[in-house]
Structure 1
Amino acid sequence: MVKSHGPTIKDDAQYQTLREKGMSKEKAARIANSDRQTTGKRGGKAGKYEDWTKEELYDKAKEVGIEGRSKMDKKELIHALRNH
């Protein structure tokens, strides 16, 4: 039986599955709350993180709330963004 995660989670089953796979609460909620009909259509427009400047990576890390970003180098920022 799927547990209700409250009104802020649109797809409780998907959220629970993602959490069981080890995703953070934030990332699982972001995915479970996405509109599946438009998500696939939006993707693929951003370049690879390796092509971004360190400043761009820092700004993205700030936007998604990654802590400790000011002490990270470019490689660490990429890793943090991919695993947040």
Structure 2
Amino acid sequence: MPNASLKNEKMYEDLRREGDSKQKAARISNAAAARGKSAVGRKGGKSGSYDDWTVAELKKRAKELGLSGYSGLTKSKLIAKIRNS
């Protein structure tokens, strides 16, 4: 059954097969449908590297994203969890 909230279901399924979370796959596929694939690809690169953030800042970002289970993670694992959300 088609999902009305997904604008590009094929891209969504491809991203899920690559290992992206449901939220991330939906966000990317819907943005691509709205602005075009090439526009979405050019969008990134304006944010600083998470490697430059403190652990406290990373934990705050994880909380903003609604993630759970991050309190005991190392900095590198916390960064990976945020990037894959």
With the length of structure 2 as denominator, give the TM-score of the two structures.
0.75
Residue in structure 2 matched with residue 54 of structure 1 by the alignment: 55
Whichever residue aligns with residue 83 of structure 1, its letter is: N
Please tell me the root mean square deviation across aligned C-alpha atoms, in Å.
2.0
The match for 2:28 among 31, 42, 46 is 31
Q: What does 1:1-84 correspond to in 2, within 5 Å? A: 4=2, 6-34=3-31, 35-37=34-36, 39-84=40-85
Gaps of 5+ in 2: none
Report deviation, 1:32: 0.9
TM-score relative to the length of structure 1: 0.76
1:24 Cα deviation after fit: 1.7
Q: 1:42 to 1:23 in 2, by over 3 A?
A: closer
For residues 22 and 72 of structure 2, the distance between their equivalents in structure 1, rounded to whole angstroms, comes to 24
Counterparts of 2:7 and 2:61 in 1: how far apart (Å)?
Answer: 25
Give the fraction of aligned pairs with identical amino acids, expressed as a percent. 44
Structure showing greater relative contact order (alpha-carbon pairs closer than 8 Å, 6 or more residues apart): 2
| Structure 1 portions without partners, runs of 5+ | none
CA apart distance, 1:73: 2.8
Deviates more, 1:68-77 or 1:25-34: 68-77
